[in-house]
Amino acid sequence: MTKAALEMKRPVMQLPGLVRDPACGAGALLLPALREHLAASATIDPRLVLNRLPSVIEGIDSDPAAVWVANVVLAAEMLPTLARIPEAHRRPLPALAHVGDGLAPDRAPARAILMNPPYGRVRLSEADRARFAKSLYGHANLYGMFMAVGAESLDANGVLSALVPTSFTAGRYFEPLRVYLTSQLRLESVAFVADRSGVFTSVLQETCLATLTRRRVRKVAVRAIGSAVEEVATIASPTGGNPWILPRRSDLAPVAAAAAKLPNTLSSVGWKVSTGPLVWNRRKDDLFARPANGRHQIVWAADIDGGAVHRDVRRASTRYLALHSERDRHVMLLTTPVVLVQRTTAPEQTKRLVVAELTEEDLARVSGGVVVENHVNIIRPVGDEQMLSRRLLTRILSTPTLDKLVRCISGSVALSAYELESITLPDAETLKAWEMLSDEELERAVAPTYGLQEQPAK
Ligand SMILES: C[S@@+](CC[C@H](N)C(=O)[O-])C[C@H]1O[C@@H](n2cnc3c(N)ncnc32)[C@H](O)[C@@H]1O
């Protein structure tokens, strides 16, 4: 992918500039680049070739043992070139990897940065927080910082390729990073790692290979890597901080392309999303099977499948929460009708978007409101003016089309409040017209709005 982004069209070519891996480990990502460069240099004076290697390959790692191995591995690759030099003229081979901090500022500009950086949240010093202010919001994740530093250390024709979790494409904490990256680069290709068995043993997130370029490309090639590499789609390259809508499968490609062009989001039409406030394991002593004074009915994630709020029997022993103070009631109780959406679904569930309306009638059946637990997202109106009714919102989110859309925003089974808020919707006029439609007519209208073939009437 990096070679394609650098427009290196021939199968074996010399490197056009410095290729750096700022967290190189034992040099796995640098090795193919070095190998190809040396193969393409077979007719050039070998002394010159070896002397110049430090200007085309650089590895950095904070682990001295990894750097030692990297230097051995990379040097082994140079032996055939060394063998072309008469013995009397041979010099020690260059050490291309060195111990250092891959996040250090002001390194020489690189033509390509390749990396599989460390992942994980880190606590930052005041100085680092200030340094990374442009690309950070809330929790800092090491891999996002490596991407930000990578972007700023490229030369004018540079390419950044990273093997990283997909959370940077849609997560809330990565919004400034998306803005920062696309203010100077364009996503040129992305490959989702579809089959992770045997690839990563301890990483649970969805993972991708992302290549960003300084060239102002308009399109991004999307692929899926399973047992083979599958071409998924070519769609407009995303820009800006909103979650990037990227299809993971080719049948989702038209939805991603059409949805990215729609004018509204859930938040722009007057609805906002929050997560249910009850974290049950912090309130174990307050959970009860039977109602009583001061106890309120809980809505669990399992209560909202099947399209309506119900009482799942598996939750019978923890159906009520005892609330103790005015503040407790203020935080926990929901007393107005809303739309509820499961925050995570099990992989075996066919739908990723499991939605039910909490109606006036539902609330009338309980006294004083309900308590929503935190595996449920709550969509509620902001202010008095909404572009679409609660009923229509529920019905739109329940369509198979919108289920396809959320699969282009989150590649995992989880759907955060932030990601849900970014769901795109059509203009006010279309939404108004949809209010009148039956469920069946609605699905037939929704599908083509999101790029899918109109569903034939049943
Ligand atoms: C996931 S490994 C990747 C190794 C190599 N690129 C590969 O694919 O085999 C991440 C590497 O980052 C290194 N690392 C962690 N923090 C670092 C830092 N601040 N600067 C440089 N390297 C760092 C670790 O020592 C580890 O070798």
Read off the pLDDT of residues 313-362 as tens digits, 9 standing for 90 and up: 999 999 999 999 999 999 999 999 999 999 988 777 788 899 999 999 99
Name the one residue in this structure whose structure tokens are 């529920």.
394
pLDDT at residue 392 tops 60: yes
Q: In the predicted model, what is the mean pLDDT of residues 58-79?
A: 98
- The distance between the two most distant Cα atoms of the chain, rounded to a whole number of Å, is 94
Token pair of 7 as six digits? 């427009």
Burial 380-392 (b: 16+ CB within 10 A, else e): ebeeeeebbebeb
Task: Give the model confidence (pLDDT) of 152-171 as tens digits.
Answer: 999 999 999 999 999 999 99
Cβ atoms of 116 and 209 within 8 Å: the answer is: no
Q: Has residue 451 been placed in a domain?
A: no
> Which of 207, 235, 258 is the last residue in one of the domains?
258
Q: Tell me, what DSSP letter sits at residue 407?
A: H
Whether the full predicted model's pTM is greater than 0.85, yes or no, is yes
48 lies in the same domain as 118: no
Residues 277 and 416 in one domain: yes
Predicted confidence at residue 422, as pLDDT, reads: 93
In a domain, 245, yes or no: yes
Task: Compute, in angstroms, the gap from residue 200 CA to the centroid of ligand 1.
Answer: 15
The answer to whether residue 127 is domain-embedded is yes
Atom of ligand 1 nearest to the CA of 115: 6
Q: 302 lies in a domain? A: yes
Does the residue 5 lie in any domain? Answer: no
Contact 102 CB / ligand 1 (< 6 Å): yes
* CATH code for position 416: 3.90.220.10
Question: Nearest C-alpha to atom 13 of ligand 1 is from which residue?
Answer: 23
Per DSSP, the three-state class of 357 is: strand
Residue whose CA lies nearest to ligand 1 atom number 26: 25
Q: Are both 143 and 43 inside the same structural domain?
A: no
Instruction: Please check whether residues 308 and 378 belong to one and the same domain.
Output: yes
Could you tell me the distance, in angstroms and rounded to a whole number, from the CA of residue 327 to the centre of ligand 1? 47
Verify that 140 and 184 share a domain, yes or no.
yes
Task: Among 85, 101, 117, identify where a domain stops.
Answer: 101
* Cβ of 207 less than 6 Å from ligand 1: no
| 88: CB partners within 8 A, 6+ apart | none
Indicate whether 456 belongs to any domain: no
pLDDT of residue 384: 84
Helix 400-407 with 439-449: angle, nearest 10 deg: 40
61: containing domain: 24-101
For the four alpha carbons of 79, 82, 88 and 94, in that order, the dihedral sign comes to negative
In-domain check, residue 89: yes
What confidence category does residue 226 fall into, taking pLDDT thresholds of 50, 70 and 90?
Answer: confident
Ligand 1 centre distance from Cα of residue 128 (Å): 19
Mutate to test the pocket of ligand 1, among 62, 128, 163, 199 (most ligand atoms within 8 A of CB): 62
Beta bridge partners of 124: none
Give percent of the chain above pLDDT 90.
Answer: 89
Q: Is 116 in the pocket of ligand 1 (CB under 6 A)?
A: yes
Question: In 326-398, where does DSSP find H-type helix?
Answer: 326-332, 360-364, 390-397
- Reported confidence tier of residue 414, pLDDT bands at 50, 70, 90: confident
Is residue 113 domain-shared with residue 207, that is, in the same domain? yes
Give the end of a domain, one of 223, 258, 293. Answer: 258
pLDDT tens for residues 293-316? 999 999 999 999 888 999 999 999
In CATH, what number is assigned to the domain containing residue 237?
3.40.50.150
Q: pLDDT tens digit string along 177-210? A: 999 999 999 999 999 997 655 555 555 678 999 9
Q: Say yes or no: 287 and 230 in one domain.
A: no
| Per-residue DSSP letter, 55 | G
Please tell me if the CB atom of residue 24 comes closer than 6 angstroms to any atom of ligand 1: yes
Count: domains in the chain? 3
273 SS3 class: strand
Mean pLDDT of 26-32: 97
Q: Is the pLDDT of residue 69 over 70?
A: yes
Contact 399, 446 (CB under 8 A): yes
- What atom in ligand 1 is closest to the CA of residue 22? 21
